[in-house]
Amino acid sequence: MSNSSCHTNQPNHNTLKSEKKKSDQLPSWDLTDLYPSPDCQELKNDLQKAQTLITQFSEKWKGNLSQTSSQELNQALKSYEIINEILGRIGSYAQLIFATDSTNLQNTKFYQDIHEKITGLSTQFLFFTLELNQLSEENVKNKMQDNELLQWKPFLDKIRILRPYQLSNEIEKLFHEKAVTGANAWSRLYDETLATLEIPLKDKTVSLGEALNKLSSSQAKERKDAAQGLSSVFSKNLRLFSIITNTLVKDKQISDQWRGFSRPDSQRNCDNQIEDSVVDALVTAVTNNYQNLSHRYYLLKAKWLGVDKLHHWDRNAPLPEDHDQPIRWRDAKTIVYQAYHEFDPRLGKMIDQFLHSPWIDATLRTGKSSGAFAHPTVPSVHPYILLNYHGRSRDVMTLAHELGHGIHQILAAKQGYILSDTPLTLAETASVFGEMLTFQSLLKNQTDPRHRHILLSRKVEDMLNTVVRQIAFYQFERKVHEARHENELLPEQIGQFWLETQQKSLGPAFEFTPDYNTYWTYIPHFIHTPFYVYAYAFGDCLVNALYNVYQEGFPDFQDLYIEMLKAGGTKSHKELLAPFGLDASDPAFWQKGLNVINDFIDELEQI
């Protein structure tokens, strides 16, 4: 073998340097697995195909469901799923294009055009679920004797939960069509406003996401400057955000009154297939633990930071000894991969596929959605993940979180488009479990007491943000929705509700400046998915209890865990947790999850 051939088999220094640099480049996703471009022929063909199938579907089944046999209803459900998956593919593509850069007018126009077309198409077969709910209990029970139709029972059960609240076909159709120019239009205005916000910071302006990231800076002045910049911009836009909130809350109230929901979160609870009483038990358990969890921890943090009182911009401040050195993208990938792989190589293999495929967008750029999400798209493709990677430890946990969603979505995809959809309360299970795996992997390998202290404090803060903060958000929403029944709310009233719930949840360690009253404005869940937020606390407490079972050496835990994720939306929370000996309807279940946070704080006090 010649020297030159030996040389080509061994990467030289420049090649290795180039490869390392490339591995540190933040990825952007490639959406061509959905469609080549917004104006491609494939997308136009799918819109036409959907229209043809919907016409055929309507002609065959409209007004005839009560007379169908079990076999015919099974055929109708299969056709219904095919149509929905086509529309789901188109809608996913438009939503991801919009999230990539919502300041691009072509993107926003494409998103709105597609949204209107899908709404128009879906209106034409809205009759199907409405007529399914009009079937008598006896009719449905008789049809369920057919084993082939039995596979659709979870979907039919989910639809029929809302049966008591269903209106006439004409009114349901009106609500559906008006959403484009009603709630959805206001949500779009909110998104586009957030995307274009420019936050003043010293001698420059930055995006909302960049400014929020500065609230985790190790420099107190930098945190304060970012907070003041955010406050000034939120205040300038306060009237608009208040109008959007008042309008959407009133819009929801009108719908709830027509449908007969007894409380503002009841529809969300029905969608999540969870009883009001279970949500109440969760909220009560968390609020009863405020003093022992968040109040106790933040008093410790004030002492560690050497201050009498914390300001709101200190909430996510790193500890003095936590320099939070930037974590390179390639290192973040390694950390998360190893955590999943150590738990189960099957999950590690799936994580590896995500990390080496153009399915993740972590690049920082203007106009991009400021949050993080995993979009399941459709079972025939794969999920896409969006996050904004600043190189902080919390970003690594976000990566672990969203990859957990991605794994869940891929495993559940085998159930098909309709049955793969997991209720929000269970949708956070794999994501939060992935965070716990990553944290425990890092903690296990840490022997230095100072570094262990840092890791524990970071984890406790993340858990408080997931549990305490989200329940405070839920209580804020309840106050806003209940007060809106009487009158339109002034910005000051909304701000007061925000301050009250924040003071109660965070405790006496904080001294809130008046400008903090505006910080409710940037929480998108209040706009897009009212009462979504308790699902985070539900998921965190559930995972804490679940992880305890794993640590205790529960037999075949990994296999049972993967089977739970594969179930998607085919089982209730009771059915999914039963194999692990857990029951979310038991009030003690929530305390078991909260005790995990409590134990971490105990260890921090001892350190």
List pLDDT tens digits, range 104-157: 999 999 999 999 999 999 999 999 999 999 999 999 999 888 888 999 999 999
Residue 69: CB atoms within 10 A of its CB come to 11
205 phi/psi in degrees, rounded to 5:
-115, 145
Share of the chain above pLDDT 90, in %: 81
> Could you tell me if residue 81 is inside a domain?
yes
Per-residue pLDDT reduced to its tens digit, 248-259 = 999 999 999 999
- The distance of Cα 451 from the centroid of its chain, to the nearest Å, equals 30
> Could you tell me if residue 105 is inside a domain?
yes
> Could you tell me if residue 275 is inside a domain?
no
> Could you tell me if residue 133 is inside a domain?
yes
Distance of alpha carbon 216 from alpha carbon 450, whole angstroms? 19
Distance of alpha carbon 73 from alpha carbon 426, whole angstroms? 29
* Higher per-residue confidence, 310 vs 5: 310
> Could you tell me if residue 166 is inside a domain?
yes
- Report the pLDDT averaged over residues 551-580: 94
pLDDT band per the 50, 70, 90 thresholds, residue 171: very high
pLDDT band per the 50, 70, 90 thresholds, residue 7: very low
Q: Is the confidence at residue 528, as pLDDT, over 50?
A: yes
pLDDT band per the 50, 70, 90 thresholds, residue 60: very high
Q: Cα separations (Å) of 228 from 19, 125, 312, 450, 605?
A: 41, 50, 11, 32, 32
- Report the pLDDT averaged over residues 273-279: 89
The dihedral of CA 313, 316, 320, 323: what is its sign?
Answer: negative
Per-residue pLDDT reduced to its tens digit, 74-95 = 999 999 999 999 999 999 999 9
Please, are residues 580 and 546 in contact by the beta-carbon 8 Å criterion? yes
| Distance, first Cα to last Cα, the chain | 60
- DSSP letter string, 172-229: HHHHHHHTTTTHHHHHHHHHHHHHT--EEETTEEE-HHHHHHHTT-S-HHHHHHHHHH
> Could you tell me if residue 596 is inside a domain?
no
Per-residue pLDDT reduced to its tens digit, 364-377 = 998 898 889 999 99
> Could you tell me if residue 582 is inside a domain?
no
pLDDT band per the 50, 70, 90 thresholds, residue 23: low
- Report the pLDDT averaged over residues 309-316: 96
Distance of alpha carbon 467 from alpha carbon 483, whole angstroms? 24
The dihedral of CA 108, 109, 113, 114: what is its sign?
Answer: negative
How many folded domains does the chain comprise? 1
Q: What is the mean pLDDT of the chain?
A: 92
Query: Residue 105 sits in which domain range?
Result: 31-181
Please, are residues 365 and 26 in contact by the beta-carbon 8 Å criterion? no
> Could you tell me if residue 218 is inside a domain?
no
Q: How confident is the model at residue 324, as a pLDDT?
A: 67
Radius of gyration of the chain (CA): 25
Q: How confident is the model at residue 21, as a pLDDT?
A: 55
Please, are residues 370 and 387 in contact by the beta-carbon 8 Å criterion? no
Contacts of 48 (CB under 8 A, 6+ apart): none
- Report the pLDDT averaged over residues 45-68: 96
* Higher per-residue confidence, 47 vs 149: 47
Q: How confident is the model at residue 14, as a pLDDT?
A: 52
CATH number of the domain to which 52 belongs: 1.20.140.70
